[in-house]
Every structure is written in structure tokens, then in C-alpha cells.
Amino acid sequence: MNQAKIDKLVSRLRYNVGSKPRKLKNIDGPEGRLRKIKKTLTAVIKYERIELNYARADETRGYVERLISEALRHGPQHIETMELAKFWIIEKQLIHKLFKVLVPRYQDYTTSFTKLHNAPYIYPGFAYKRAVLELKGNVYPAIEQVNPYQHNLLHNLLLDAARKEYRMEKYKEIAANMKF
């Protein structure tokens, strides 16, 4: 019985935090690093899906998860939670979105609130690993495809049209060579 009460008091993140230390550097030191995380966290709440460097996405993910879990646990009437939201969210109108849109969306979630996907490099030889950080349940089409071989997906339709065009060109070539 005491165990159940303690679980309510302690917040738990719903995703595994990596054991490798992050090597995030900033010219402005720790203040600059916090400023970048605030900007990224605000962008995640505003746009619900962003693409950025993997290290910053991984770092920001923990702060987004913690902010949403605190908002779920305590609500907007809790003074410390409101101070936390005001500190991390730069655009103050997004605090309303946090409590009125995101908290109801994630009330019944038992898993993490965010997803982190690997993204392709911008160009060959680009030094930084890229990632897409998104809030689950957003309005955008899914990045992960359940069945990438499904016939009606856009890239499969384009590939089929290209194959058909290629076959028609080959057929015309063969037909032109066969005429005597």
C-alpha cells in the first residue's frame, strides 16, 4: 500500500534514457545550451514534428517527456508545473496548447509521448547524424510505414509508372529493330 502512494509522488519517464553521455557544446556555455533546448522544445510543441541533429533531438526529448508528464500529473492549477511550463516554453500561447490539447491527448498513454526517428544525412559526408522528433498522435502522415510494399503508396505508384514507361520504350525499340 505504501508502494502505491510513493509511485504517485515520483514522476517516471516513459522511455529509456541512454547511458552514453551527450557531447553537446555551445559557444555560450550552459546558458546557450539551455536556450537551444528551450527553442527546440517550443518548436516540438508548436509544430509537433521537427527535423534536427540527433544529439539535440535526443536531449530535448527528455525535457518534452518530463514537461508533458508533469502537466498530466498536476494540471494547470499547480504553481510549480506552471512555472516549469513558463520556463521551458518560449511562446507563452503554447502553454495553453500544452494543457488544453496535449494533456487530454496523452491522458491514457502508457508509453512515451514522443518518437525519435533516424533521418537521412543532408548530403554525403555531412558530419552530424539527423533525426526527426515528433509528438505521437499528431496530424501528419506516419513516418514509419507498416507495409512499405503496399500498392497504393505514392512511391510505389511512381515506380510502377516508371517501370511501365521503361517497358514501353524497350518495346518500341524492339519493334523498330524487327521491321525489315
DSSP character at residue 22: P
Q: What is the pLDDT of residue 148?
A: 66
Q: What is the pLDDT of residue 121?
A: 80
Q: What is the pLDDT of residue 30?
A: 86
31 phi and psi angles, rounded to 5 deg: -65, -40
Q: What is the pLDDT of residue 83?
A: 95
- Characterize 123-152 residue by residue with b for buried, 16 or more Cβ atoms within 10 angstroms of its Cβ, and e for exposed: eeeeeeebbbbbbeeeeeeeeeeeeeeeee
119 phi and psi angles, rounded to 5 deg: -120, 155
CA dist., res. 137 & res. 161, Å (int): 33
Q: What is the pLDDT of residue 177?
A: 84
Residue 133: its H or E element: strand 130-135
pLDDT, one tens digit per residue, over 146-175 is: 776 677 777 788 888 999 999 999 888 888
pLDDT, one tens digit per residue, over 56-107 is: 999 999 999 999 999 999 989 999 999 999 999 999 999 999 999 999 999 9
What's the whole-model pTM score? 0.72
pLDDT, one tens digit per residue, over 5-51 is: 555 555 666 666 666 767 777 888 889 999 999 999 999 999 999 99
| Residue whose C-alpha is closest to residue 86's, from 101, 73, 96, 74 | 96
pLDDT, one tens digit per residue, over 125-134 is: 777 889 999 9
